[in-house]
Amino acid sequence: MANQTIMRYQVADYLGVVGTGGDPTFELLGAGVNTLDENPAAQLDTKTYVNDKAASSTIKGYQPQFPFDTDLIKSEKAVMELYKIGRDELTGADAERDYIRVELFEPAASKENTYKARKFRVAVEVASCAGAGGEAIKVTGNLNNVGTFVEGEFNTQTKTFTEAGAEV
């Protein structure tokens, strides 16, 4: 079996954008997005017992965070949603969105345009909206995990998420 290095473009990111009717639609975080990383941020419980010289650690949980860096492009709905949250200084539930990471390298069996995915609820933290003279405005910050992600599948054509085990 050949070594298959997974490239960044093989992971697609979609943000739930609040529409005028109130129902969110999933928009691709693509054009305008310079970086969008995943930091699982394992939380450790570390102890050194009286009979040990070295500490013992166990993973007690995770606090995922997704740092982003974007160029502000007006035609990109997901980028504008991030900007709007910071511009309007939204807080609490108003600053939360659904966020889906799609593994384009893991197609769903016998389902066209459908791939393995995880759906997160995130609190959007906009750290800055900045740009020097003659440069594009950059919007940077973090998507901070809220709760536990949901496993499932995402259809990139219909932009719909189906929870694992759910009937279609």
Encode pLDDT of 61-97 as tens digits. Answer: 989 999 999 999 999 999 999 999 999 999 999 999 9
pTM of the model: 0.88
Q: What is the DSSP string of 50-73?
A: TT-SS-EEEEEEE--EEEEEEE--
Closest of 7, 20, 41, 25 to residue 142, by C-alpha:
41
Encode pLDDT of 5-39 as tens digits. Answer: 999 999 999 999 987 666 789 999 999 999 999 99
pLDDT value, residue 109: 83
Helix (H, G, I), strand (E, B) or coil at 167: coil
What are the chain's domains?
A: 8-42+58-163 (4.10.410)
Q: What percent of the chain has pLDDT over 90?
A: 74
Residue 2 pLDDT exceeds 90:
no
With the C-alpha atoms ordered 126, 90, 98, 31, is the resulting torsion angle positive or negative? negative
pLDDT value, residue 1: 56
Q: What percent of the chain has pLDDT over 70?
A: 95
Neighbours of 61 (CB within 10 A): 10
Q: Which amino acid is at 83?
A: Y
Alpha helix segments (H runs only) across 31-127 = 77-87
Residue 119 pLDDT exceeds 70:
yes
pLDDT value, residue 23: 75
pLDDT value, residue 168: 53
pLDDT value, residue 111: 87
pLDDT value, residue 20: 66
